A and B are shown apart, each in its own frame.
Chain A
Amino acid sequence: MDNLEKLVAEWRKTMMTAPNVGRETLNELENHLRENVGQLVRSGMTEPEAFQRAVTQLGGAGAIALEFQKLDQGTWLPVKLVTGLGATAALAFAILLIARFDAGRTSFLLASHVFLVTLGYTTTFLVGALGICFVGQRCFSDFSPSRMHSLMRTTFTFGCAAVSLTAVGIILGMIWAKAEWGRYWAWDAKEIGAFAVIVWQACFLFAHRFACGTARGVLVMSVLGNIVVGLGWFGANLLYGGLHSYGTWNYSLLLLAAVVSNFAFFLIGLAPAGWLRPRKVS
């Protein structure tokens, strides 16, 4: 039996090199292989012979991967757009801040803080944008399990990036604030906003990973992230912001409209899949 375990382990290693064959599929194939080996051994074959025959009957890693590749529907267009937007935003913010830093208008610490926090907030908006696209398409048709899985993987990756960028950005900001303003944290409107955003990002990741909620629930929930970041980032500017006050124009109505529309998308996301799909007249 030890020999069989070694052979199976070797086979798994080879199969893992095949693209499009995930861990769950590999477990399923391994079960098949073991059942076949068991059957062949009962019919009188030796274990190594049975294993070789079972592997041949199952097919090579390349051939199986090729069949699974045919199932791949390609990346969903909104995921491509959001990934592109994220990369463009990161590049644009970096160029802008390097220009300011070079001109001597910003210290390196402050530039890094602004860059990371802005990117962290933007990434949360991008997750929310994917949530809106999900809600929009789901009104007409439900998502296939494979597309849902890929969407969940993308939002989790973006969620991890958002919380990491925001957390490091806030820490750098605190260090800068201590040096320039004499305190790390003062709970002014902007800081409360930042705290709310990072708590939201952590809750989103927690729901994603550990909560019992469905994939649909997590994706619909991501729309609420737009409201939290909107209020934490732009809403805080409208209040008295203490040292963080930048004296910006009054966009409260615009912000209110954004909050209301995002909440509307959240509510729409609770409706059953395909509720807007035209019904066939029989």
Chain B
Amino acid sequence: MKLEKELVAASSVPLVLSILSEGDSYGYAIIQRLKELSGGKIEWTDGMLYPVLHWLEDQRLVRSRWIKSESGRKRKYYSLQPDGRQALRQQKEQWTLVTSTLNQLWRPKYG
């Protein structure tokens, strides 16, 4: 199943913030975590993640720093900031409201 472009765009911020709430991470690992969680069903074009990460950094929701990996190459790690946790709480409330409303509408009706 391929998600529609608009839904991918709308869900990118809560998805990234939620993954970062599990701990600091970098672009490639974020994509892998997303594939793992969705069973490979949510597929982003990898390059689209970076504008989202940079936008989150601009909004001070996340912070980045370069750290040397075991391979010797530097990776840019992102960590959630207090404003990011606040934004994630708001996103959770909104998405929970939408999904619970849809669940009620789509619940099989008996009798």
Which secondary structure dominates chain A's binding surface?
Answer: helix
Which secondary structure dominates chain B's binding surface?
Answer: helix
Contact A144-B59, Cβ < 8 Å, known A28-B76, A34-B73: yes
Q: Are B46 and A58 in contact (CB under 8 A)?
A: yes
Q: How far is the CA of A36 from the CA of B28 in the complex (A)?
A: 8
The interface-forming segment of B13-21, B49-57, B87-95, B97-105 is B49-57
Q: Are B50 and A28 in contact (CB under 8 A)?
A: yes
Q: How far is the CA of A35 from the CA of B57 in the complex (A)?
A: 23
Q: How far is the CA of A57 from the CA of B35 in the complex (A)?
A: 13
Total cross-chain contacts (CB, 8 A)? 63
B79 CB, nearest partner CB in chain A, Å: 15
Q: Are A63 and B47 in contact (CB under 8 A)?
A: yes
Q: Are A71 and B54 in contact (CB under 8 A)?
A: yes
A72 CB, nearest partner CB in chain B, Å: 10
Q: Are A71 and B51 in contact (CB under 8 A)?
A: yes
B55-75: which have CB < 8 Å to A?
55, 57-60, 73-75
Q: Is A178 an interface residue (CB 8 A)?
A: no
Q: How far is the CA of A67 from the CA of B5 in the complex (A)?
A: 13
Q: Are A63 and B45 in contact (CB under 8 A)?
A: yes
Residues of B contacting A71 with CB < 8 Å? 51, 54-55, 58
User: Nearest A residue to B43 by beta-carbon distance?
Assistant: A57
Contact A67-B47, Cβ < 8 Å, known A25-B54, A145-B58: yes
User: Nearest A residue to B27 by beta-carbon distance?
Assistant: A32
B32 CB, nearest partner CB in chain A, Å: 8
Count the A residues whose beta carbon is within 8 Å of the partner chain — how many? 23
Q: Is A59 an interface residue (CB 8 A)?
A: yes
Count the B residues whose beta carbon is within 8 Å of the partner chain — how many? 20
Q: Is B7 an interface residue (CB 8 A)?
A: no
Q: Is A70 an interface residue (CB 8 A)?
A: yes
Q: Are A59 and B76 in contact (CB under 8 A)?
A: no
Chain A, 227-249, contact with B by CB distance < 8 Å: what is the 0/1 string? 00000000000000000000000
Residues of A contacting B28 with CB < 8 Å? 31-32, 35-36
Q: How far is the CA of A58 from the CA of B27 in the complex (A)?
A: 11
A15 CB, nearest partner CB in chain B, Å: 10
Contact A36-B73, Cβ < 8 Å, known A68-B54, A145-B57: no
19 more A-B residue pairs beyond the given contacts A31-B76, A145-B57, with a C-beta to C-beta distance below 8 A: A25-B50, A27-B76, A31-B27, A31-B28, A31-B73, A32-B28, A32-B31, A35-B28, A36-B46, A59-B45, A59-B48, A64-B48, A64-B51, A67-B51, A68-B50, A68-B54, A71-B54, A71-B58, A145-B58
Query: Could you tell me which B residues sit within 8 Å of A by CB distance?
Result: 26-28, 31, 45-48, 50-51, 54-55, 57-60, 73-76
Query: Could you tell me which A residues sit within 8 Å of B by CB distance?
Result: 24-25, 27-29, 31-32, 34-36, 57-59, 63-64, 67-68, 70-71, 142, 144-146
3 A-B pairs closest in CB distance:
A59-B47, A67-B51, A59-B45
